[in-house]
Amino acid sequence: MVIVNLEKEEGGEIMGVGKYELGRTLGEGNFGKVKFARNTDSGQPFAVKILEKKKIIDLNTTDQIKREIASLKLLKHPNVVRLHEVLASKTKICMVLEYVTGGELFYKIASKGKLTETEGRKLFQQLIDGVSYCHNKGVFHRDLKLENVLVDSKGNIKISDFGLSALPQHLRDDGLLHTTCGSPNYVAPEILANKGYDGATSDAWSCGVILYVILTGYLPFDDRNLAVLYQKIFKGDVKIPKWLSSGAQNMIKVILDPDPETRITINEIKEDPWFKEDYNPANDDDEDEDINIHNEALSIHEVPHDAEERSLTSPTLINAFQLIGMSSCLDLSNFFEKEDVSERNIRFTSNLSAKDLIERIENTVTEMGFRIRNKNGMLKVILENKTHKSLGCLSVATEVFEISPSLHVVELRKSYGDASLYRQLCKRLSNDLGVTPNHMEV
């Protein structure tokens, strides 16, 4: 088992790892940092994603990191960020990744606005090439968005961040995936419906959202109110600008079809006349060298025992918004509402009726010793211990939003109080409302 030394620590900052000299910070997230690095032997630049094992354990996302590494090990394509090596110390995991100089496609669109159809089609062709290759390898990304598409110095795209990806072993007996995950504006309607979904079909939807933004400069589905946003996605309520060519309009229309059964597939996209214009298919690089992954890198659970015990007290209820924050290598919190179950808000979807949800919530919190007030559908859950202050106090607002007749969103908002009590409440509600760990894949 190989353990790599993290060298030249200066002011708490790691200056080197193995044969890589670390430089400026490129991004920062929940697990650690992404730093520019240079191979001291060859001089070649890389990006090193430095993950803190303790934070991975505390956030209960060991499997997520393992699946990201497992996915990237399979992928060698010019339009997918390459994983070159995985190293580790006793406290950190270091993923040595291809360095992409141009940054996120998000910033390219934000600074330049919409692209011309010719330029946008070229990027879309590369995106579809990369996604098609991933699917052929059995990898479904599940979080495709502008922030996870990088642009290199030549203007070519690289798909990145496979923290929410799924592999064939994650399929249920029905052949479908069931984890609700992804970014709100890019997520496919069938993912929100909690009835199982095809990873390739849902990735195609996200590609359609990306195409729309590339060609128009704005999102097809957007609203500050989450319930309204979900309703727009379910309806496929998208306004396609008339100034786009008929080919581009049709491409967007057939991809952003809310019915996954009739939505165009990735292979069908590649046969579309508008898509095929000036199309130069990419060649994969499967003949390249194997990735060097030291066994120690995957020994994420080798942490102090007390840290492991803390991870077991974390709530088992995980929603899409938490997963976004935990998987992102960059700090993108300003682009979506921060939600942390240990601090304030959490939302999850349920197929129960609004009446059943409210009744179950009332029964559960009453059994737990909380007082509850129901005012116009807004539940106020309160626990006060004036005599035994050590037991803590808590105030939580609970609301149920209807997305469709068969789908509702439950939102919990902590007003004040003990974080551990809040976690206990969330865990109990997740079990009683049918959102259990068995329904989660990560």
279 vs 114, 132, 147, 276, 369, CA distance in Å? 21, 15, 24, 5, 64
- The Cα 196–Cα 349 span in angstroms is 13
Contacts of 393 (CB under 8 A, 6+ apart): 383, 384, 385, 416, 417, 418, 421
Q: Taking the C-alpha atoms of 287, 289, 295 and 301 in order, what is their torsion angle to the nearest 10 degrees?
A: -60
What does the DSSP 8-state code read for residue 303? S
DSSP 89-144: -SSEEEEEEE--TT-BHHHHHHHH-SPPHHHHHHHHHHHHHHHHHHHHTT-B-S--
Strand pairing partners for 293? 86
Please indicate whether residue 143 is annotated as part of the active site. yes
Q: Which of 58, 129, 143, 198 is catalytic?
A: 143
Pairing of strands 292-293, 83-88: parallel
402 burial type by CB count under 10 A (0-12 exposed, 13-18 middle, 19+ buried): middle
Residue 277: how many CB atoms within 10 A of its CB?
A: 14
Contact call for residues 44 and 20 (beta carbons, < 8 A): no
Helix 199-216 with 246-255: angle, nearest 10 deg: 150
Give alpha helix (H) positions in 148-284: 189-192, 199-216, 226-235, 246-255, 266-269, 273-276
Six-digit token pair at 399? 């609301």
- The Cα 186–Cα 327 span in angstroms is 16
Six-digit token pair at 215? 């060609």
Residues acting as catalytic residues: 143
